[in-house]
């Protein structure tokens, strides 16, 4: 996928524009790395979550997309319990949102 601005791919830009047609086309291509990260370390799924775009989130998850936290843990060489770490992170995030 060709890089656009700020290290974004065409998929990142489609998420920015909430363009479901483009998201569906890109995620249907077998050669697409849907977990590419921007220069800031964001995946397309991270961007869909931050923009509260539920339809985009669903389409990306169905296609196998991961958040930056998920990608970083999967690429780690550490012998860790992946699911317990992710549960801890998500619980911490939920707790922080409840304080607002």
- More confident: 70 or 33: 33
Write the CB contacts of 7 (distance below 8 Å, at least 6 apart in sequence).
37, 38, 39, 40
The predicted pLDDT at position 31 comes to 86
Q: Is the pLDDT of residue 88 over 80?
A: no
pLDDT tens profile 9-55: 999 999 999 999 999 999 999 888 999 999 888 999 999 999 999 99
Q: For residue 48, count other CB atoms closer than 10 A to its CB.
A: 26
Write the CB contacts of 41 (distance below 8 Å, at least 6 apart in sequence).
68
- Mean pLDDT over the full length of the chain: 77
The predicted pLDDT at position 6 comes to 78
Q: Is the pLDDT of residue 1 over 60?
A: no
Q: Is the pTM of this model over 0.75?
A: no
Contact 13, 25 (CB under 8 A): no
Which domains are seen in the chain, by residue range?
5-98 (1.25.40.20)
Percent of the chain with pLDDT over 70: 64
């Amino acid at each position: 996928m060709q890089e656009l601005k700020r290290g974004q791919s065409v998929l990142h830009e489609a998420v920015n524009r909430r363009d479901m047609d483009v998201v569906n086309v890109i995620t249907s291509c077998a050669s697409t790395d849907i977990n590419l990260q921007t220069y800031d370390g964001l995946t397309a799924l991270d961007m869909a979550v931050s923009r509260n775009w539920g339809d985009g989130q669903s389409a990306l998850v169905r296609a196998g997309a991961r958040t930056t936290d998920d990608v970083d843990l999967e690429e780690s060489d550490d012998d860790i319990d992946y699911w317990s770490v992710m549960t801890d992170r998500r619980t911490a995030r939920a707790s922080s949102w409840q304080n607002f």
